[in-house]
Amino acid sequence: MVLELDDTRVSSGVSGLDGLLEGGLIKGRSVLLAGGPGTGKSILSWQFLFDGISKGETGVLVSLDQSRQLLIEDMSKMGWDAREAIDSNSLTLLSGDLRIIPRETGYEYMIAFDHPMLREQPFTVPRLASVVKEKAREISATRIVVDGIGPLLELAGSHFEIRQLVYSFMKEIVTKDGTVLMTHELRSQPRATNDEMPYFISDGVIKLDMVKSSGDFVRTLRIVKMRGTSHVMRPVMFKISDDGITLFPETRLPD
């Protein structure tokens, strides 16, 4: 019997990036976008979503660190009309406010989604996964973005728990037609190896960085791994502008 593998590619939405990946991300797989603060994780993830929306696809965006209003405003500065996408059921925005409440026995995490259908509720990873899955199913989402998996990691104590939590979360929300992009904020001083643990679990890892060069900083993107495809190994320069992210695969990084 010949196994039929689905190697359909999904555009990352970033000019120049698909070419480094044999045509794009693999449909129905998960990619982790990791980087320090301000490296462009959110913008790249929105670009991926709106690339789909511009082609008639649908997406879900989960963001736990920015209010709905600010998110919509920031996207519109880049020319992406989230309000119109939400109104036409092309986009479901699940933004929320994560609260940590001290209790006698430890801490309780509550999440107040500012989605009209969802109220404040105890935050657990399986609960978040089921909400994302339900919302993705409602609009048959082909692209799912979780911008910031930090809160998931906060809920896990040990190394082992992180692996279990993130793995089960990803397994739950990935579908054969739904490609998942998750962002992960890296600290400049990694806390033990917990920061890199999610690298092992996702199908792909793309790292964004800002590196010092001739007294200035340049933005770089590097594909750390991408299961099921060959890819370019070297860091590639990119810029952020009002048009989002543009990659310069041919430009040599200054030494």
Both tokens assigned to 240:
């952020």
How many residues bind to ligand ATP according to rule CB under 6 A? 12
| Residues 6+ positions from 49 with CB-CB distance below 8 Å | 13, 59, 61, 91, 143, 145
Number of helical H runs and strand E runs in the chain: 7, 13
79 interface partner picked from Mg ion, ligand ATP, none, CB below 5 to 8 A per type:
none
Q: Does the protein bind ligand ATP through residue 240 (CB under 6 A)?
A: yes
- Report which of 9, 32, 35, 26 is spatially closest to residue 240, judged by C-alpha positions: 35
Q: Least separation, in Å, of the C-beta of 150 and ligand ATP?
A: 9
Token pair in block for residue 127: 């609960």
Query: Using CA atoms, how far apart are residues 155 and 108, in angstroms rounded to an integer?
Result: 10
Residue 189 CB, nearest approach to ligand ATP (Å): 15
| Angle made by CA atoms 60, 174, 5, in degrees to the nearest 5 | 130
Cβ distance to Mg ion smaller for residue 26 or 128: 128
- Residue 155 contact among ligand ATP, Mg ion, none, beta carbon within 5 to 8 Å by kind: none
Using CB under 6 A as the binding rule, whether residue 242 contacts ligand ATP is answered as yes
Cβ 206 vs Cβ 217: under 8 Å: no
- Site mask for ligand ATP (CB under 6 A), range 15-54, x = bound: --------------------x-xxxxxxx-----------
Which of Mg ion, ligand ATP, none interacts with 104 (beta carbon under 5 to 8 A by kind)?
Answer: none
Q: Which residue is nearest to Mg ion (CB)?
A: 42
Interface residues toward ligand ATP, by CB under 6 A: 35, 37-43, 185, 240-242
